[in-house]
Amino acid sequence: MDFGIKGKVALITGGDSGIGQATAKLLAAEGVKIALLDKTTDPLQSTVEEINKIGEAIAVQADLRNLEAVEAAKQQIINQYGGVNILVNCAGITGAQKEFLKLSDEEWLETIEVDFMAAVRVCRAFIPEMQKAGWGRIVLVGSEDAVQPYTDEMPYCAAKAAVLNLTKNLSKAYAKDGILINSVSPAFIATPMTDKMMQERAEKLGVEFDQAIDSFLKEKRPHLVLQRRGKAPEVAAVIGFLCSQQSSFVVGSNYRVDGGSVATVHH
């Protein structure tokens, strides 16, 4: 399928690994110029070098919890590419995993800052650029946890539910400007974030890494009917479609890429 977006410029946050990295590679192969943003240095540059073998990319280092850093990143991208047509927000953390009564305000706020407010900040920064062009695509990465919450991940679940609400609100506000905004909700994808979760589980249970994954699927994700971790390119494929000209009648939607993990027909 020809996505019809050759020559467009995409900003991908949280792009040094996982879903962000896979999406960057997919879009670069479609002829999209990539601005890859993360707060890291070495992994980010390494990923940019990989992408430059198949397309064109620049590294943008910024902490999305800092408004000034977001504005500086915006200026860097405009100076390099003149604007942004596509925004994919993959930046996120798992956050504190505790019983509700043991969670502090600081732990709640840290997760909300990264998983929700980062999306608010980048959308606020780059929607005006898309308005000028009269065309835009925004994909915000949510999670199965947004509609099927887990009691040991409350801050993350709440932040991701807010992302879905933000997606719908923004889609209603800016579709008139030619900006189509949607979300994608993965579940248990093989990324550095879930690798860390599974390594901690393996150490806690005194088992091998693969055994930790198997027990997690059985005990914590019984509705994930495919019974495996998803792959980052599988999520990127859906994101790529939503960034394309082919998604011209898709707006305000949430696409689940969850192996069947959400146990309801709704959402």
Residues noted as catalytic: 156
159 in Cβ contact with 112 (< 8 Å): yes
